[in-house]
Amino acid sequence: MNLGPQHPSTHGVLRIVLELEGETVTQARSVIGYLHTGIEKNCEYRTWTQGVTFVTRADYLSPLFNETAYCMAVEKLLGITPPRRAEVIRVMLMEINRIGSHLVALATGGMELGALTGMTAGFREREEVLHLLEYLTGLRMNHAFIRPGGIAQDLPEDYDQKIREFITVMDRRLPDYDKLLTGQPIWKKRLQNVGYLPLDACLALGVTGPILRSAGLAWDLRKVEPYLGYEEYDFEVPTETAADCYARYLIRLEEIHQSLKIIRQTLDKLEPGPVMVDNPKIAWPAKLTIGPDGLGNSLEHVRKIMSQSMESLIHHFKLVTEGFDVPPGQAYVPVEAPRGELGAHLVSDGGTRPLRVHLRDPSFVNLQALPAMCEGGMVADVIAAVASIDPVMGGCDR
């Protein structure tokens, strides 16, 4: 039996080929590639900065994580560190993004299992996340806001008030999920003891994220291999031991609470300062007003450098069109994305464009666990298992 690729229960264009004996699944195979966009290949024909606008579209539910991993890998090759303010803002934006991603996981999972109120509530809260991200970065999704060397521009003046209002709304609404789903008998019966994947199977398959933590291992890169100063933040890594779909649901819900805790701390850590490295050969749009093209080529800035110095204008033109050279070498930088370890592997031959860009996307790796979760179970439980993996095909096919 074909489940998908055009099916509301397959999380995008995922095709699952099932072999059945009655209602029991004897074999499950996931077929991918229906959303192939050539993002990695496209990056080889763009400058290092332009690559951000491609990778942000891979896992489109967590674009800021793609941008961060990519930019940190570029910075590793360049041997530079972004300013402190830029690092704190990156952490803040990623945690806001994590909340939005987990809300989609809960909402779509609810929809696929018939809990339609869970779906409407999840997307209602996600809309709050998208409104906030649009206010902070200028776009709801695919932001291209995090750039090599820092971020594109500083936050709006009243960012603190807007973020605290968002935290208040989320604190008020999150308990509704416990009332709506956590203790709901039908929800528990559909998820408990379904999609079981023990710790040894997770490790053998390279599975990370909430699926690994649902099997009892508190593996979170923010704790075990901290980056961007995560070691300074006080938060817990939620784990469960049931290793089933219900445990993954509980973990994602608790991670939303932990992300709100981190966001509060970022507001206290944000101190005035630059948001881009002080290197005119790398830093280009941070000192500018973002123009209508979204790149920073604002008319005011161009007028200013045209009236002051022809050399400045030529430098600006070359930096924007050609980009900057990155020393030859390769770098791999992983971050803890909502679905698990998201890594960016970049290879440079010393030019203004990457020689190779590869994303280690958690959706791609985690989907390998699908047969282990489904075989021997019922067809209806395949839907719950896929929802608990929470794959995003944009990241899987890229």
**d(C-alpha 295, C-alpha 51), whole Å:** 13
3-state secondary structure 251-307: HHHHHHHHHHHHHHHHHHHCCCCCCECCCCCCCCCCCCCCCCCCCCCCHHHHHHHHH
Check the CA dihedral 359-360-364-366 and report its sign: negative
Q: Are residues 195 and 303 in the same domain?
A: no
Same domain, 331 and 305: no
Residues 170 and 312 in one domain: no
Please check whether residues 98 and 216 belong to one and the same domain: yes
185 and 311 in a single domain? The answer is no
Q: How far is Cα 202 from Cα 217, in angstroms, rounded to an integer? A: 10
Do 48 and 61 belong together in one domain?
Answer: yes
How confident is the prediction along the chain (398 residues), in pLDDT tens digits per residue? 888 777 666 677 888 999 999 999 999 999 988 888 899 999 999 999 999 999 999 989 999 999 999 999 999 999 999 999 999 999 999 999 999 999 999 999 888 888 888 889 999 999 999 999 999 988 889 998 999 989 988 898 889 999 999 999 999 999 988 888 888 899 899 999 998 999 999 999 999 999 999 999 999 999 999 999 999 999 999 999 999 999 999 999 999 999 999 999 999 999 898 888 888 778 765 454 555 555 555 666 667 666 776 777 777 777 778 888 899 999 999 999 999 999 999 999 998 999 999 999 999 999 999 999 998 889 989 999 999 998 998 889 88
Counting the structural domains of the chain, the total is 2
Residues 102, 242: one domain?
Answer: yes
Q: Is the same domain home to 185 and 217?
A: yes
Task: Give residue 293's domain range.
Answer: 289-322
- What pLDDT does residue 316 have? 73
Hey, what are 115's tokens?
A: 């809990």
How far is the C-alpha of 395 from the C-alpha of 309, rounded, in Å? 44
Residues 203, 97 within the same domain? yes
Single residue among 322, 345, 379 that ends a domain in this structure? 322
Are 151 and 189 in the same domain?
Answer: yes
Kindly report the backbone phi and psi dihedral angles of residue 346, in degrees, each rounded to the nearest multiple of 5, phi listed first: -115, 140
CATH number at residue 224: 1.10.645.10
Question: 0.85 exceeded by the pTM?
Answer: yes
- Give the distance, in angstroms, between the CA of residue 387 and the centroid of all CA atoms in the same chain: 17
Gap between the Cα atoms of 166 and 284, Å rounded: 31
Does 14 lie in the same domain as 89? Answer: yes
CA nearest 288: which of 174, 184, 151, 170? 151
So what's the pLDDT on residue 286?
A: 42
In this structure, the number of other CB atoms found within 10 A of the CB of residue 18 comes to 16
pLDDT value of residue 327: 93
Domain identity same for 172 and 296: no
Domain boundary residue among 303, 322, 341? 322
Q: How far is CA 137 from the centre of its chain?
A: 15
How many beta carbons lie within 10 A of that of residue 267, not counting itself? Answer: 14
